[in-house]
Structure formats: C-alpha cells, structure tokens
Amino acid sequence: MEIKTDINIGDVLKVMVIEPENQSGNVLLSLKEANDILAWDKLKADYNNRTVFKVKITESVPSGVVGYVKGIRAFIPSSQLALQYVEDTESYIGMTVDAVIITVNQREQKLVLSAKEIEKERALEEKTQQIGRLTVNSIVEGTVERIEPYGAFINIGEGLTGLCHISQITSKFIKSPKEILKLGDSVKAKIVKTEGDRISLSIKAVMEDETGNGDSQYEIPDKYRADSETADESPFAKLLKDIKL
C-alpha cells in the first residue's frame, strides 16, 4: 500500500494502536496490523461458509505452492492442488486456481487451501448429471474392472462405473463373482437403477431377456432343499418340507 496514492484526506480507516504515545508525543498506529486482524476474522467466516477463492500461485515451495487471500499468505499442499498428486509444482506458478480454506489458524499464522476439494465437487456434479441422462432398463456394454465378494464393478464408458451385485450376475447360485467373471471381461448389463452417483446393473436380467427364462433357472443348493437327503433340520428346512420347489 502506498500512503500517497491509497489514502486520502477524509478517509475513514480502521487502525490498531501500537503505542499510546511515542517519544515525539504521538500515538503510533498500524493500518497493516488492523487489516491483518480483520482479514483473519473474515477468513474464519469464509472457512465456515466454504467460500471459493480465485488464488494466483506466486511461489513453489517444498511439498506445495503459495498464494495470497485477503493479503494473507496461503499454502496449498501438492496433494490438494488437483485430483491427482502434483509432482511438478513449478508449472503452477502464475496460474489461478479455485480453492477453499481447509485450515485457518490466526495464532499460528496458518492458512491452508485446497483446490482438490473444488475439483472433486465439480467432478461429482458432472458425474451425477451424466448418470441422470442414463435410461433405466437400457442395455449397456462394459468391462469388468474390479471384483469384490459382494459383486463386480463394470466400466460402461464415459468415466462411469456401475455395480452388478452378486445376486444379479447369474440365475445360478454362486458363492463368489469370480466363479463367473474375471477382470477384463466384456459383458452386457441392464441398468436397473440410478441414484445420485450410483449405477446398479444386472447381467442376469440381460440373459433372462435373451433366453426368456426367469428365476426358474435359479439352482438352490441341496442343503437348502427340504426334500434333500442332506437337508439340515433348520426351521427354514422344516417349513419347506411340504412345498415343491
């Protein structure tokens, strides 16, 4: 700030008293100290409101970059610059990023920002919009990219992945999705439900549509059949004794 250009006669200023009276008998005031205190108060409010700032990167430092918000030095860690960890922080100097405050501590003069949080929110919003454009009961083709005990995750393109629950993989009884699927398999699946950023798929529904067979193809393990010699005497088995499956 330049006093001659930034302050005019008649301006009302908020200042901080540094000395009630110096050797010359004058009150020593600080505009900068007052502005810093006011800035930190505003930054605390911005933190609570998740205010988004446009921050120009001015410097690269170990493990991150530096910019300024309301005149206060702010640090953005490499892990918070983008969705992926940023190794080359030098390339960000001069760039402007959207960021929110994730740490504000006036006592320690610590202000930490995150651009990653904004990117995550925008990516989620875009994904949700994409999913909203999908049609339930339509058939999609995809690739098995992950298998868990409870089902398989299928990449259906355009950055979208859906879950095919183990009960929706086949009409036959299986203990693990790996009995039917392996990583990299190309499959057809029906979209049975979309909710928020989640997509529920069914491979079984496609097979049933193609063959015209429904749950009649479901094979019940012997130990759950009431008429089986190996059936246990659980209440469930007893209940089914007189029911033909």
Per-residue pLDDT of 212-233, as tens digits, reads 665 444 443 444 334 444 444 5
Q: Which position has the token pair 């299928």?
A: 154
Q: Binning pLDDT at 50, 70 and 90, where does residue 24 land?
A: low
Give the CATH architecture of domain 134-213: Beta Barrel (2.40)
Pairing of strands 160-165, 110-114: unpaired
**Where in the chain are all domains bearing CATH 2.40.50.140?**
50-120, 134-213
Per-residue pLDDT of 94-123, as tens digits, reads 999 999 999 999 889 999 999 999 999 998
The answer, yes or no, to whether residue 31 has pLDDT greater than 50, is no
pTM of the entire predicted model: 0.56
Q: Can you tell me the distance from the alpha carbon of 27 to that of 18, in angstroms, rounded to the nearest whole number? A: 8
What is the token pair recorded at 215? 């749950």
What is the token pair recorded at 51? 């205010």
Give pLDDT, residue 20: 62
Give pLDDT, residue 71: 87
Pairing of strands 160-165, 198-202: parallel
Would you say domain 50-120 falls under CATH 2.40.50.140? yes
Mean per-residue pLDDT over the chain, rounded: 81
In the beta sheet, which residues pair with residue 72? Answer: 69
